[in-house]
């Protein structure tokens, strides 16, 4: 079996990490050959250069760039692709466009966000295209939201992503040394690209509340993730609240999750999520979590049992929970022990790959 994975994003985030983990694990458990089509000069393309996965590139200077569409068609013919696994909405649009020009193999689409499908004719057509045989949802919440826009609900399957176990956490540098963070400071880490869904405005407001209103200056906040046009909003807020000494925006770092062991606490302030890879990685590295309760997050974190949850936008509530957790070592140990056990039993990339492989076989052969 040959599977062509489509990624049409320029940055590297949890969705792209999922592709990398999925292809690597499938290679370990089967004789399936995975091919990945990425955007020329994208972060993901550069990361794949160092992997054993066969990578192809296509330009994408605008959302409907036909050069990417023609590359899909050419690869399917030249490589005799059996199945196309689509990993983002732009790639889905381009793949559907390709069906107008050539006969393509069946599609599987991974729905990795909890955004509802918009009630627009073209959007509904795209998500209900006849070539899509399965839609793999990252969480039950994503499945629940997605079902409203899908005519055939039997296509929807929940497959949690998880993370790879027994991996190296080597990093090129130590955060404390590079950023001159004193040894008595508590490092609160966040990994999130600078996009609206991650709600980094609430992240800055939380820090402002802690430092300027509560006088809690024992924390140092490290944020890793690709800069975007929204970055200026956050840097302006940081300057406005005079938080420069409490915050470091690191931008994109290769293998960002390998820095998680250097965090004392992981923090997520998202307003919308599917189920972020950052949380799985924090479970694996035994770093306790404070997070918003959006998307599929409550499916893997129970408040006060293996992490702390708050409603989105509630900066003060998140800050108070952060303080409480930082002061209770016993609770931190409880959270990390339970989360690590939960991960090992339910949310590894091996489990994800095995379940995904079953769906591939169902689509192509009608069996497990």
Is residue 364 pLDDT above 90, yes or no? yes
Is residue 254 pLDDT above 90, yes or no? no
Summarize the confidence of residues 80-98 as an average pLDDT. 97
pLDDT attached to residue 165? 75
C-alpha of 180 from chain center: 29
Q: Which residue has the higher pLDDT, 283 or 171?
A: 283
Query: Is 308 in contact with 328 (CB distance < 8 Å)?
Result: no
Q: Which residues pair with 56 in a beta bridge?
A: 37
pLDDT attached to residue 51? 87
How far is residue 221's CA from residue 333's CA, in Å, rounded to a whole number?
21
pLDDT attached to residue 109? 98
Is residue 262 pLDDT above 60, yes or no? yes
Summarize the confidence of residues 269-276 as an average pLDDT. 94
Summarize the confidence of residues 341-350 as an average pLDDT. 95
Query: What does the buried/exposed string (b/e) look like for 248-283 if buried means 16 or more CB atoms within 10 Å of the residue's CB?
Result: bbbeebebbbbbbebbbbbbbbbbbbbbbbbbbbbb
Overall pTM > 0.85: yes
pLDDT attached to residue 169? 67
Summarize the confidence of residues 304-324 as an average pLDDT. 97
User: Percentage of the chain with pLDDT > 90?
Assistant: 90
Q: What is the pLDDT of residues 173-228, one digit of tens each?
A: 999 999 999 999 999 999 999 999 999 999 999 999 999 999 999 999 999 999 99
Query: Is 234 in contact with 267 (CB distance < 8 Å)?
Result: no
How far is residue 135's CA from residue 129's CA, in Å, rounded to a whole number?
11
Lowest model confidence (mean pLDDT) among 92-96, 163-167, 177-181, 356-360: 163-167
How far is residue 29's CA from residue 44's CA, in Å, rounded to a whole number?
24
User: Percentage of the chain with pLDDT > 70?
Assistant: 99
Q: What is the pLDDT of residues 53-84, one digit of tens each?
A: 999 999 998 888 999 999 999 999 999 999 99
pLDDT tier for residue 167 given thresholds of 50, 70 and 90: low
Is residue 368 pLDDT above 70, yes or no? no
Topology of domain 175-346 in CATH is Rossmann fold (3.40.50)
Q: Comparing 2-162+348-365 with 175-346, is the CATH topology the same?
A: yes
CB atoms within 10 A of CB 62: 8
Q: What is the pLDDT of residues 107-116, one digit of tens each?
A: 999 999 989 9
Cβ neighbourhood burial of 176 (10 Å; 0-12, 13-18, 19+): middle
Is residue 9 pLDDT above 70, yes or no? yes
pLDDT attached to residue 168? 65
**Domain 2-162+348-365 carries which CATH code?**
3.40.50.2000
The number of helix segments (H) and strand segments (E) in the chain equals 13, 13
Summarize the confidence of residues 302-331 as an average pLDDT. 97
Summarize the confidence of residues 288-311 as an average pLDDT. 97
Is residue 118 pLDDT above 60, yes or no? yes
Query: What does the buried/exposed string (b/e) look like for 138-151 if buried means 16 or more CB atoms within 10 Å of the residue's CB?
Result: bbebbbebbbebbe
Q: Where are the domains of the chain?
A: 2-162+348-365, 175-346
Query: Is 280 in contact with 337 (CB distance < 8 Å)?
Result: no
């Amino acid at each position: 079996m040959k599977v062509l994975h489509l990624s049409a994003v320029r940055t590297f985030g949890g969705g792209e990490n999922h592709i990398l983990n999925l292809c690597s694990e499938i290679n370990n458990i089967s004789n399936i050959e995975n091919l990945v089509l990425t955007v020329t000069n994208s972060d993901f393309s550069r990361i794949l250069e160092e992997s054993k996965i066969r990578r192809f590139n296509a330009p994408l200077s605008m959302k409907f760039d036909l050069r990417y569409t023609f590359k899909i068609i050419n690869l399917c013919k030249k490589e005799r692709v059996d199945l196309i696994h689509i990993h983002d909405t732009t790639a889905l649009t381009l793949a559907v466009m390709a069906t107008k020009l050539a006969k393509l193999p069946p599609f599987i689409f991974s729905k990795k966000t909890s955004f509802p499908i918009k009630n627009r004719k073209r959007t509904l057509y795209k998500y209900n295209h006849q070539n899509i045989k399965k839609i793999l949802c990252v969480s039950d919440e994503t499945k629940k939201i997605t079902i409203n826009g899908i005519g055939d609900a039997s296509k929807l399957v929940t497959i949690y992503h998880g993370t790879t176990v027994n991996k190296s956490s080597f990093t090129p540098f130590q955060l404390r040394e590079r950023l001159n963070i004193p040894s008595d400071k508590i490092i609160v880490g966040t990994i999130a690209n600078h996009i609206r869904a991650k709600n980094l405005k609430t992240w800055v407001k939380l820090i402002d509340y802690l430092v300027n209103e509560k006088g809690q200056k024992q924390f140092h906040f490290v944020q890793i993730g690709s800069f975007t046009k929204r970055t200026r909003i956050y840097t302006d807020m940081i300057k406005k609240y005079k938080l420069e000494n409490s915050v470091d925006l690191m931008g994109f770092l290769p293998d960002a999750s390998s820095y998680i062991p250097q965090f004392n606490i992981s923090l997520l302030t998202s307003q919308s999520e599917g189920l972020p890879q950052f949380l799985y990685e924090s479970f694996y590295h035994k770093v306790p979590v404070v997070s918003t309760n959006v998307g599929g997050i409550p499916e893997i974190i129970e408040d006060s049992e293996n992490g702390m949850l708050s409603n989105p936008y509630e900066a003060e509530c998140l800050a108070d929970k952060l303080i409480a957790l930082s002061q209770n070592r016993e609770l931190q140990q409880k959270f990390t022990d339970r989360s690590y056990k939960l991960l090992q039993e339910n949310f590894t990339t091996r489990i994800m790959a095995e379940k995904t492989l079953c769906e591939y076989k169902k689509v192509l052969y009608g069996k497990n």
